[in-house]
Structure formats: structure tokens, C-alpha cells
Amino acid sequence: MSPRALVSVSDKTGVAELARGLADLGFEIVSTGSTANAIREDGVKVREVSEVTGSPEMMDGRVKTLHPAIHGGILADRSNPGHMKELEQYGFAPIDLVVVNLYPFERTASSGASDDEVVEQIDIGGPTLIRAAAKNFRSVTVVVSPERYDEVLQSLKAGGTDEGMRRSLASDAFEHVATYDAAIAAWFARGRRAEQLPAGRALGLERVSELRYGENPHQRAALYREVLSPGPLGGAEVLQGKEMSFNNWLDAEAARALAAALDPPAAVIVKHHNPCGAAAAGSGAAAYRAAFESDTVSAFGGVVAFNTELDEEAARAMAEVFTEVVIAPGYAPGALKEFAGKKNLRVVRAPLPETGGLEIRPIEGGGLIQDADAVTEARDEMKVVSKREPTDEEWADLLFAWTVAARVKSNAIVFASGRATVGVGAGQMSRVDSVEIASRKAGERSRGAVMASDAFFPFRDGIDKAAEAGIAAVIQPGGSVRDEEVVSAADGHGMAMVFTGRRHFRH
């Protein structure tokens, strides 16, 4: 009996060449609709599925391969005499090779098509064929990617695929179906904010590119795109420079997220996933200069994000500083010309991020899911708890510092003046240590500045240290059992203090 291949693909890349190669090896080719036509047009003999099943395609093609003649041929275990006897009893022939990929659901869903059009791209027969063949990998070879056609053909020419290859192909097959189903689940969940967090979450990721290495040179790494999304950082485009590294992508995400949260025009400089400088000013250039002055040492080799189109003046302001990546929603032609001479600078264009949604963080053996953290607290929702009210200028700096603190690793302390950071203390185990670091970074610039803390002060020592640095006003969530002591310390130093009622830890 001739070996039999079932070929039914949405992506027709290389299918005619594959079919020709299979025919040369003596395979009988069974196919459906447009795939059968593509093979036939290339001069290769093909048998329609309806000939094998004895049933026509039904319901506009919704039902065509869902038949025992097909699935019995795929699922029969060749080592089980009972299975083979049943095939013979019903007149079904084994299917040795299944070549299937799925309807373009994601492309249709992303095109603005109507719900009815999108629903019709939910493949039923394709995933069923793939799963059946992959389940029976000891007897059947399943191929879902044109990239593996040549490899499979060469193995068949050499005598057949071995179990190791079939297992590898089955793994690809189940990943292909899982990613496809994740896109469908994501489409149905769009725009729906459930009362509770989901009971399960399918996360479909498709590899975009290999990276040179991960956080460190000995770690393998790759960049992935979440299904039904434009891609990493909203479909970011690298317009110039070397390949983005693993750490570049992480820092670009952090810088872009904070820049988007600030009033435009604003600039943010990130180093090791923490902002070392941030400012909002009258122009991109002024914002960058103010952000840079926050910490001129740490800014070296940093990632810079803007929340407006980057113009030539802003590009010139960056000229003397070594920068790894600049990311902005757009670039004026003059800015790109200014950057052209910096061959090592990665210039990335990316839209500002959408807010809301869920955050997923993997941990060993599982993951954590939470609502994305956004600073939504407004001035009229906050409470002045000190004897002295903040001045209008202090209020502007307090609100700015509060937004920045939410994007700094805990324990987070941010000193700010003139809507620009002047000192940042990040990631310390003790909050007072973060105050000391911010004070040292700021130097004399802390005189008259404000301080934001992402969580409450457990003791008055942080306030006393801030007073030594010359801090004039403090914003923090409140909620400590020693709040009265902390507020009393602020009053004793003549500080204004504001409680927001909400903390913004960032681990």
C-alpha cells in the first residue's frame, strides 16, 4: 500500500514543492479545497478528501475532514493489531503524514473585520487534524511549518522520519495549536473587564528574533510577540543602530512607560530598569537636559524615552552623552539626521503604551497576575495632613514626583524640583537608606525640593533625614501605625505633608 499524506494548509508557502517531492516518493496525496487546487495546478495528482470520506464538504466548508475515514487513518496505532484490523474492517487506509496549518485568525481579527468574519476564521478541522496526528506521533508525522518541509522530505528520502524527529514535530504542532487558541481566547476577552481575575490565562507568544544573549552572556534569549498584539512595545521599530539586547528591551519598556505617564513634553532616562532622571518641561530638549542633570553619572549608557515627537533640538541636546537607546513615538527628519552619525545608538520608534489591563509575572512553576498599576490619584483626592499647606509650586512637584516614584523599584524615594528629579533612591531594603541615597545624589539641589515615597514611612527617621537635606514637602500614602509620629516630625521641620491613601510598590 502506498504511503498517504493529508495536506491542507492556509499558508501555501512551499506546499507545491512539498507535494511534488512526496509524489516522487510514491505518496498518495489527499487534500481539500484551495490546497488541492494549488497542488493540482503544479501538475501533481491529488485526491479530494470528499473522495476518501464519501461525504461532500458541508456548511460552507465548516465540515469536511471531521470523518472517521480521516481520523481513523490518523489515530490508528500501527503497533496495535486491533486498530489495524478495524481500519481494514471499515475500509479505511492509514494516513502517514499530516501537513496542516491553520486559518489566518489573528490576521483577520487585527484587520478590523466584522465579528462574523473573525468567527469564520476559527479553525475546527485543522486543530483537530494536528492534535490527532501529534498524539499519534509514534506512527504519524505531523508538519505545521513550511520551514520544516525540506527537513522532512530529506528524512523521507533517507528511509523515513525517526521517532525523535516525529516527537519534535509533534511538539511544534501542539505549540502551533496552543498559540492559535490563545489568540482566539484573547479576542473573546478584548474589552471585557471581568469581576474576578480569570480562572485561567492562555498566553500565546511567537518568537520574533533570537537575541545575542540574555541578561548575561551565558544565558540564551529571544524576543517574542504576544498574539493579537502589534508586537513588543506596541510594534516598536528599530530605525537605526545595532540589534537591541535583552536588557535594552527591558529598559526601553521601563523608560517608555514612565514617559507616557508624565505630562508632555517629558524625557526619562533609565538605567538598569530604574529611572535615574525624569523631567517635564517646555520642550523635549529642555526636558532631556533637566532629566540628565538629575544624575549625570548614571545617565551614561542609559536608555532615553520621550513622550512626544523628538525634534532636532532634543537630538542635539543628547549629542555629547553616550546613550544605548532612544525611544519616542516619532522623530523629526532633522533628529534622525542628527543621530545618523551615532552608529552605536539604537533609535526606536514606538507608540505610547496603552494603560490598564493585566500584568503577568512568571515564577517557578506558575505565575502571578494582577491589574496593571497606574497612578490615578488626583490632587483633590489627596489629604494634607501637616499644619502647613503645600504651595502651588510644591503641589506641581509633589504630583510629578509621585508619578515617578511609582516607576522606581521599592523602596522608592524621589526628590524633585521644577518638575524634574534631582535625586532617586531605589531598591533598598530600608526606606531611610533610599532617602540617604536620594539626598547624596541631589546634593545642594535638594534644598527646597519635594520628596515622594512609594509607601508609608514606618518611622520618623526618613523625615528627619529629608529635613537635613532641605526637603520642603513630602508626599506618601500614609497608613503606618506611626503616622502621627511621622506627621509630627514633618510639622517640627516646617514641612508640608500629603497623604495619597494608595501605595505604589514596584518589586
Residues with catalytic roles: 135, 272
Diameter over CA atoms, the chain = 95
Residues 330 and 311: beta-carbon distance below 8 Å? no
* Residue 80 CB-half CA count within 13 A: 11
How far is 450 from 174, CA to CA, in rounded Å? 55
Q: Which among 149, 191, 197, 196 has a CA at the least distance from the CA of 169?
A: 149
Residues 350 and 248: beta-carbon distance below 8 Å? no
* Residue 19 CB-half CA count within 13 A: 27
Its sign, for the CA torsion 144, 148, 149, 151, is negative
Residues 386 and 491: beta-carbon distance below 8 Å? yes
Beta strands (DSSP E) in 40-106 are 47-48, 97-100
How far is 72 from 112, CA to CA, in rounded Å? 39
Give the containing element (helix H, strand E) for 432. Answer: helix 431-442
**What is residue 146's DSSP assignment?**
G
How far is 110 from 246, CA to CA, in rounded Å? 27
